[in-house]
Amino acid sequence: MRYLSTRGESATRGFSDILLEGLAPDGGLYLPESYPLIDSATLAQWRGLSYADLAFEILSRFITDIPADDLRALIAKTYTPEVFGGHAEIVPLKPLKGDPGMALLGLSEGPTLAFKDMAMQLLGNLFEYALARQHSELNIFGATSGDTGSAAEYAMRGKRGIRVFMLSPFGKMSAFQTAQMYSLADANIHNIAVQGVFDDAQDMVKAVSNDLDFKRRWRIGTVNSINWARLAAQIVYYFAGYFQATRSNDEQVSFTVPSGNFGNICAGHVARMMGLPIRKLVLATNENNVLDEFFRTGVYRPRKSAETHHTSSPSMDISKASNFERFIFDLLGRDASRVHALFADELPSRGFFDLSADPAFARSATDYGFTSGSSTHADRLATIRSVWQGSERLIDTHTADGVKVAREHLEPGVPMLVLETALAAKFPETIQEAVGTCPQRPAGLEDLERRPQRFAVMPVEVEAVKTYIAMHCGAGLAGS
């Protein structure tokens, strides 16, 4: 399988070539040259496979430059019940008895209690393998407002050849999120608390990334949501959820996906393109409704930082959706020159693009199954309360946005799976506000906030972070 760029670079690169990369050199995003089609006989054979075996069947169609036995072993050591909350299914189905026809797909049983673990855990093992083959090492550098950074750290801790330098806004994360990251004692994990807000930290990462000499010299890489390997790993749970919710492959299922950067639901789009019988892909946003606006009107209008709301589902607080270009590429019949014109010319100059008059826009619903809705803080509280009362389950704030929108798109006879993108235990403040009780922690995390914390505090200065990275690159690699 070869990969091309949404802006025109032709398909010359393999999976391993793009594994450690972000954007393609022409500024586009990588996609496979075509989607592997799964016929009904194959789909029937996959029903009943373990999660790891299913993941191998799917991922081996996208990853053809790693020997099959090696890939199978990497996947088998990633998706174990020990890492995912003791669940044999890895992604357990959780029916909502108060909402007949609806169930949660539990994607948050991994170490950081959010769905980002599903892909990041595999990425850690793939990186370690690829770096060992190249006799190379990598310094992962990023900024986090919470979920991504901790998922990356838990995936990379103790991995040979990898260090993590993660910027986070000092004093701005929840006590749980802070403790989750800062209590890691692994020598290859470096938490840097920046005396500013998340956007300051993000700007520091951009400034360092623009310094190509520095990047090359210290082998700096990222693990952001546009990474194709992350997206590929996420395709698997759409299949796993489908098999759990149906008895035969004649049935259709709809999915509702709490969305921000369009990574999670883009994996659902790929699963559907591969032939998985998905009826609808329902995109749910919070008050930051850039994507809901597009699917309602055909206008894509990224927001300015000042227009981005800070909400109680913070992992969906985005101003633009960094994976969206992948879907637009498919929607426009893979016309790379149009994608280039929209994203490289029209968006920067006008601040939006408008496909409402283009026949392609109508196809997002008819041919691609997309529909959408949005949710507010009041909706979130009401939904958490009603699911607690009707189904005796505590759901997290992001999942609540999903359930709220899913209820508006239920169809008789079509199971609706809402992706559970985090556990309630991660956002106790809002749960308390909604139902007056605190969610239970998974076993082993009771003392999290009392563990010793280790982090460096730093001003918002690019030179300071560069010096820190250079100083810490000589030591601290696991296994060396």
Return the active site residues: 116
**C-alpha to C-alpha distance for 465 and 363, rounded to whole angstroms:** 46
- Minimum distance from CB of 219 to ligand PLP (Å)? 26
Query: Rounded to whole angstroms, how far apart are CA atoms 148 and 143?
Result: 9
From the CB of 144, what's the least distance to ligand PLP, in Å? 10
Residue positions counted in the chain: 480
Kindly tell me which of 103 and 419 has the beta carbon lying closer to ligand PLP: 419
Q: How many CB atoms lie within 10 A of CB 236?
A: 26
Q: Classify 128 as helix, strand or coil.
A: helix
Instruction: Tell me the Ramachandran region of residue 440: left when phi exceeds 0, alpha when psi lies from -120 to 50, beta otherwise.
Output: beta
Kindly tell me which of 116 and 380 has the beta carbon lying closer to ligand PLP: 116
Nearer to ligand PLP, 161 or 268 (CB): 268
Select from 396, 364, 398, 144 the least CA-distant residue to 259.
398
- Token output for 475: 């030591």
Nearest approach in angstroms of CB 114 to ligand PLP is: 4
Contact track, ligand PLP, 77-116, x by CB under 6 A: -------------------------------------x-x
Residue placing its CB nearer to ligand PLP in the complex, 310 or 350: 310
In angstroms, give the least distance from the CB of 67 to ligand PLP: 30
Q: Which is nearer to ligand PLP, 249 or 421 (CB)?
A: 421
Round to whole Å and give the CA distance between 148 and 226: 12
Residue 377 C-alpha from the chain's centroid: 22
What is the DSSP track for 244-279? HH-SSTT--EEEEEE-SSSHHHHHHHHHHHTT--EE
Which CB sits closer to ligand PLP, 128 or 396?
396
Q: Would you say 465 and 458 are in contact if contact means Cβ atoms under 8 Å apart?
A: yes
Q: Strand 102-106 to strand 93-95: parallel, antiparallel, or no bridges (unpaired)?
A: antiparallel
Task: Collapse the DSSP code of 104 into the 3-class scheme (helix H, G, I; strand E, B; otherwise coil) and give the result.
Answer: strand
Compute the least distance from the CB of residue 106 to ligand PLP, in Å: 13
Kindly state the tokens that stand for 35.
Answer: 């989607």
Q: 193, 110 in Cβ contact below 8 A?
A: no
User: What are the two backbone dihedrals, phi and then psi, of residue 123, each rounded to the nearest 5 degrees?
Assistant: -60, -40
Give backbone dihedrals phi and psi of 110, rounded to 5 degrees, phi first: -75, -175
Q: What is the DSSP letter of 321?
A: -
| Count of residues of this chain found to bind ligand PLP when the rule CB under 6 A is applied | 16
Amino acid residing at 283: L
Would you say 240 and 51 are in contact if contact means Cβ atoms under 8 Å apart?
yes
Phi and psi, residue 388, nearest 5°: -65, -45
Nearest distance, CB of residue 449 and ligand PLP, angstroms: 20
Question: φ and ψ at 162, to 5 degrees?
Answer: -125, 130
CB of 419 to ligand PLP, least distance (A): 8
Beta bridge partners of residue 258, listed in sequence order: 284
Q: Tell me phi and psi for residue 285, to 5 degrees.
A: -120, 170
Within residues 120-149, the interface with ligand PLP by CB under 6 A covers 147
Site string for ligand PLP, 300-339 (x = CB under 6 A): ---------------xx-----------------------
CB-nearer residue toward ligand PLP: 92 or 263 = 263
In the shown chain, the binding pattern of residues 408 to 437 toward ligand PLP, with x for contact by CB under 6 A and - for none, equals -------------xx---------------
- Applying the rule CB under 6 A, the residues between 242 and 281 that interact with ligand PLP are 258-264
Q: How far is the CB of 316 from ligand PLP (least distance, A)?
A: 5
Structure tokens at 341: 């014109």
CB of 133 to ligand PLP, least distance (A): 29
395 lies in the site for ligand PLP, by CB under 6 A: no
Provide the mask over 145-184, with x wherever binding to ligand PLP is found by CB under 6 A and - wherever it is not.
Answer: --x-------------------------------------
Nearer to ligand PLP, 227 or 249 (CB): 227
Helices first, then strands: H and E counts in the chain: 20, 15
Residue 119 or residue 126: which is nearer to ligand PLP going by CB? Answer: 119
Residues interacting with ligand PLP, by CB under 6 A?
Answer: 114, 116, 147, 225, 258-264, 315-316, 398, 421-422
